[in-house]
Amino acid sequence: MLEDLDKLKSEALEKLEALKDLKELDTWRVNYLGRKGALTQMLRGLSDLPAEERKDAGTAANKLKTLLEETLAQKQDDLKKTELKKRLEESRIDVTLPGNPIRLGRLHPTTQILRETSSIFTAMGFEVVEGPEVETDYYNFEALNIPRGHPARDMWDTLWVDYTNEKGERPMLMRTHTSPMQIRFMERREPPIRVIMPGKVYRYEAIDATHESMFYQIEGLAVDKGITMADLKGTLYEFARRLFGQDRRVRFRCDYFPFVEPGVEMAIDCFICKGKGCRVCKDEGWIEILGAGMVHPDVLRRVNCDPEIYTGFAFGMGLERIPMLKYGIDDIRLFYSNDLRFLEQF
């Protein structure tokens, strides 16, 4: 029996030594110390021994059991440590490596200028409203005092929608300006009115550095009792100063638009050369930025607003021109050609 125990001891310890992971370790434990394990079997066999052998064998077997249990615990400890170390090694990060850059999106320059202008006008009490890009001849022209055959129609090269009605007319078009929104808004609302109406407009245009077939405009309208040209000038002057700098000067000159009377064009003194003359203002000293005027009485009448009681002013301007002037961008086509080298600069 003692010999058997000795053999078992060296065999068990040898095997234990060779184990490589915790799974193998468990198999080892079952094989030697488990309920049907080799050592357990021997301990059970003690009772079959003659009494004089039993005592020594029992002591030796129990000693071996303790030894195996202790060595097992030790080995288990070692293996756990090695496995943990291995796992740490595998998941190791080098904190000195540069991180993955987080790519930040940005707003399109048109969106930025739209937000900037909108907030200037909302601060002055204007609301912001949007409307349809596919319009009818009535809203885009007729209601704005530009009837069929009127020479002023040539001011807007029009993209007509390929649709003919039962009378053989083509009444649908892509709006050529945001001014039709004046009519739509006044049809729905009574004065006092203070509103800006931004959005896309379309022109049948030979495209070049200063002409796109789609661009943005922002339309403004104020109608109430007692509104005068002084309100128009004051509002647009303040707008120009907030957008282009407090020291801006403005210049109003007569201009013609069928839906206003009188009509004006507003220019600001060149914020690059302060009026001396440079490339941006083409040596003029002045930069035209918008058209405006007092709402024509016929336009008011058309939306059942009595021009004897109410007056108003309106204005309209192209949006892309503003960042073009501010940042010296010389080609409007850059805005909508999705070139990241351009867009990432804003």
Mapped onto helix, strand or coil, the DSSP state of residue 240 is helix
| CB contact at 8 A, 202 and 159 | yes
State the amino acid at position 284 in one-letter form.
E
Q: Closer CB to ligand DAH, residue 42 or residue 263?
A: 263
**181 in contact with ligand DAH (CB under 6 A):** no
How many residues sit close enough to ligand DAH to count as binding (CB under 6 A)?
Answer: 12
Gap between the Cα atoms of 140 and 176, Å rounded:
7
Q: Closer CB to ligand DAH, residue 75 or residue 177?
A: 177
Gap between the Cα atoms of 205 and 134, Å rounded:
17
**Token pair listed for 78:** 């070692």
Residue 223: which H helix or E strand, with range?
strand 214-224
> Using CB under 6 A, which of the segments 51-59, 65-73, 286-294, 304-312 binds ligand DAH?
286-294
Please state the φ and ψ torsions of residue 189, each to the nearest 5 degrees.
-130, 145
**Token pair listed for 45:** 């066999």
**219 in contact with ligand DAH (CB under 6 A):** yes
Q: Which of 260, 264, 295, 299 is an active site residue?
A: 260
| CB contact at 8 A, 186 and 117 | no
Please pick, from the candidates 110, 291, 296, 325, the single residue that binds ligand DAH as defined by CB under 6 A.
291
Q: Which of 217, 264, 286, 302 is an active site residue?
A: 217
DSSP 137-168: HHHHTGGGT--TT-GGGGGS---B-S---TTS
* Continuous H helices in 34-170: 38-45, 51-90, 109-123, 137-140
**179 in contact with ligand DAH (CB under 6 A):** yes
The distance of closest approach from Cβ of residue 257 to ligand DAH in the complex, given in angstroms and rounded to an integer, is 4
| CB contact at 8 A, 174 and 161 | yes
> Using CB under 6 A, which of the segments 49-57, 126-134, 234-242, 311-319 binds ligand DAH?
311-319
Q: Closer CB to ligand DAH, residue 256 or residue 342?
A: 256
Gap between the Cα atoms of 151 and 145, Å rounded:
11
The distance of closest approach from Cβ of residue 282 to ligand DAH in the complex, given in angstroms and rounded to an integer, is 20
The distance of closest approach from Cβ of residue 215 to ligand DAH in the complex, given in angstroms and rounded to an integer, is 10
Q: Closer CB to ligand DAH, residue 57 or residue 222?
A: 222
The Cα angle at residue 321 between residues 316 and 327, in degrees rounded to 5: 145
**335 in contact with ligand DAH (CB under 6 A):** no
Gap between the Cα atoms of 299 and 324, Å rounded:
33
**Residue nearest to ligand DAH according to CB distances in the complex:** 316
Is 314 in the active site?
Answer: yes
Please pick, from the candidates 121, 257, 271, 286, the single residue that binds ligand DAH as defined by CB under 6 A.
257
Q: Closer CB to ligand DAH, residue 39 or residue 191?
A: 191
Is 253 in the active site?
Answer: no
**293 in contact with ligand DAH (CB under 6 A):** yes
Is 41 in the active site?
Answer: no
Please pick, from the candidates 12, 64, 173, 177, the single residue that binds ligand DAH as defined by CB under 6 A.
177
Mapped onto helix, strand or coil, the DSSP state of residue 335 is helix
The distance of closest approach from Cβ of residue 314 to ligand DAH in the complex, given in angstroms and rounded to an integer, is 4
> What are the residues binding ligand DAH (CB under 6 A)?
177, 179, 219, 257, 260, 263, 291-293, 314-316
